[in-house]
């Protein structure tokens, strides 16, 4: 019997998740059907309940529903509680909904895939929204020497620093508080989607530093286009998308797919505009 899964988002027509999970299922011999569902804003819980009533077993959740997904869950993983957001839903055999977040794991695994070292490194994260909150615990688990979070609203960044201070050396503030150079700079804002560039200094990157944008597209993002001439090696968030999906697939099916061929196919699909 085919098991049903989905991604919930609004908008969601652009989502690559159905293609990714179809590839994972083909690789691992899993009989699943994975579709994209676009509930009206504010109606995720009703859409999830309807999906479960029709045989749904689990789902991914993307913008703008991750906080809504957190609220509808009966049980939460430790990392979801810490992040305050859920991107993976699982319907238990008892009819209860379990929530987890795989975004941070996806980021860390993507960095590892590209041999980007975090241990002992100075890391800057730009932005203090839900996407950043979701990556901080796994990132700090890699034991960087320091994590600095900066945001246009400095208080939000400072709050994140306080919330995660038990996990490592982390502080937050405004852009005017930046000092020194960084080994890894991660853009966790959605500014790339609107073509905006955060107000970052030109001398941000240490020798051999990496610039990572959690967004991705056919062309390099505005942030990466800026970072390249300033000496940084560049990565976008396509690999993070694949790796977080692989972790969700593992939670659902207890099978860990090979992400390398899926990465290659997804990159090719972007290049050909499909």
The DSSP string of the chain is -PEEEEEE-SS-TT--HHHHHHHHHHHHT--EEEEEE-PPTT-HHHHHHHHHHTTEEEEEE-TT-HHHHHHH-SEE-HHHHHHT--SEEEE-TTS-EEEE--HHHHHHHHHHHTT---TT-EEEEE--SHHHHHHHHHHHHT--SEEEEE-SSHHHHHHHHHHTGGGSSEEEE-GGG--S-EEEEEE-SSHHHHT------TT-EEEEEEEEES---SSPPHHHHHHGGGT-EEE-THHHHHHHHHHHHHHHHS-----HHHHHHHHHHHHTT-
**Looking only at Cα atoms, what is the longest distance across the chain?**
57
Question: How many angstroms separate the CA atoms of 159 and 171, rounded?
Answer: 9
Q: Is 192 annotated as a binding residue?
A: no
Q: Is 85 annotated as a binding residue?
A: no
Q: Is 209 annotated as a binding residue?
A: no
Question: How many angstroms separate the CA atoms of 2 and 259, rounded?
Answer: 23
Q: Using an 8 Å Cβ cutoff, are 253 and 120 in contact?
A: no
Q: Is 216 annotated as a binding residue?
A: yes
Q: Is 17 annotated as a binding residue?
A: yes
Q: Which of 66, 121, 181, 233 is catalytic?
A: 66
Q: Is 93 annotated as a binding residue?
A: no
Q: Is 103 annotated as a binding residue?
A: yes
Q: Is 156 annotated as a binding residue?
A: yes
Q: Is 214 annotated as a binding residue?
A: yes
Q: Is 264 annotated as a binding residue?
A: no
Q: Is 272 annotated as a binding residue?
A: no
Q: Is 1 annotated as a binding residue?
A: no
Q: Is 271 annotated as a binding residue?
A: no
User: Is 66 in the active site?
Assistant: yes
Q: Is 130 annotated as a binding residue?
A: yes
Q: Give the residue numbers annotated as catalytic, written as ranges.
A: 66
Q: Annotated binding site for shikimate, which residues? A: 15-17, 62, 87, 103, 216, 244
Q: Annotated binding site for NADP(+), which residues? A: 127-131, 151-156, 214, 237
Q: Annotated binding site, which residues? A: 15-17, 62, 87, 103, 127-131, 151-156, 214, 216, 237, 244
């Amino acid at each position: 019997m085919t098991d049903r899964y989905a991604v919930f988002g609004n908008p969601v027509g652009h989502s690559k998740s159905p293609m990714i999970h179809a590839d994972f299922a083909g690789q691992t011999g899993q009989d699943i059907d994975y579709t994209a569902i676009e509930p009206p804003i504010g109606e995720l819980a009703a859409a999830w309940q309807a999906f479960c009533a029709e045989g749904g077993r689990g789902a991914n959740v993307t913008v703008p529903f991750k906080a809504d997904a957190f609220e509808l869950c009966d049980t939460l993983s430790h990392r979801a509680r810490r992040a305050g957001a859920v991107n993976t839903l699982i319907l238990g055999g008892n009819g209860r909904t379990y929530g987890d977040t795989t975004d941070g794991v996806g980021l860390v695994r993507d960095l590892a895939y590209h041999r980007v070292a975090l241990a002992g490194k100075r890391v800057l994260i730009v932005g203090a929204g839900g996407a950043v909150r979701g990556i901080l615990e796994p990132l700090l688990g890699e034991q960087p020497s320091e994590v600095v979070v900066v945001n246009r609203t400095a208080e939000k960044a400072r709050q994140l620093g306080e919330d995660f201070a038990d996990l490592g050396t982390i502080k937050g503030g405004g852009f005017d508080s930046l000092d020194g150079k960084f080994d890894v700079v991660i853009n966790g804002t959605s500014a790339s989607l609107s073509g905006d560039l955060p107000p970052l200094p030109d001398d941000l990157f240490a020798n051999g530093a990496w610039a990572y944008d959690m967004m991705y597209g056919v062309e390099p993002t505005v942030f990466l286009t800026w970072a390249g001439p300033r000496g940084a090696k560049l990565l976008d968030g396509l690999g993070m998308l694949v790796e977080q999906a692989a972790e969700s697939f593992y939670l659902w099916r207890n099978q860990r797919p090979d992400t390398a061929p899926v990465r290659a196919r997804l990159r090719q699909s972007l290049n050909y505009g499909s």
